Amino acid sequence: MNDTIKGRVSRRRLLNWAAALGALMTLPARAWATGSRPETAFDATALDQALMALGQTPTRHEGVIFTTPDIAENGAVVPIRVEVDQTVLPNVSKVSVLVEMNPNPLAAVFDIAPGTEVYIETRVKVAQTGNLYAVVESDGQLFMASRETKVTLGGCGG
């Protein structure tokens, strides 16, 4: 049993996966429809532009639990975590992560299967000190939390 399987760009593998995905699409009602890639939002070069492309300006909600470091050792790898307290904010279908000062603020969008926990961890590039946003969609409405993360430099530079 392999925990890691080397995947090359092989046509067969691609077709297998496409077939599997296609099969998923035809599953009965229990299956859920994942969202399509929000291309316009990814292309946006300003925060408000990206948010509008995602749907609307979100309102703050304490049910969005967003964890980022106050100060990052470097801007290339900044760990973040988004959780949602579903007792106060249920039916979350989507989580988006935005980095305000990046050339393209939208970093990632996560489609969440219905009825499951909202707990996402990843690592993002943060170009410079600024605000990070976790935006969640619940019943068509957008809610968010934001935090400032300072990006530091180490070493002698040059």
Cβ at position 26, least distance to another protein in Å: 12
Smallest CA-to-CA distance from 144 within 46, 48, 37, 45 is with: 48
Q: Which is nearer to another protein, 102 or 138 (CB)?
A: 102
Instruction: In whole angstroms, give the CA distance from residue 135 to residue 82.
Output: 9
Pull the structure tokens for residue 73. 């050792």
Q: Which is nearer to another protein, 78 or 144 (CB)?
A: 78
Q: Which is nearer to another protein, 107 or 142 (CB)?
A: 107
Cβ at position 148, least distance to another protein in Å: 13
Instruction: In whole angstroms, give the CA distance from residue 47 to residue 69.
Output: 20
Going from the C-alpha of 151 to that of each of 70, 122, 129, the distances in angstroms are 9, 17, 5
User: Which stretches of the chain bind another protein, using CB under 8 A?
Assistant: 1-9, 13-14, 17, 24, 27, 31-32, 34-35, 37-38, 42, 67-81, 99, 102-104, 106-113, 115-117, 119-125, 152-158
Cβ at position 53, least distance to another protein in Å: 12
Neighbours of 30 (CB within 10 A): 6
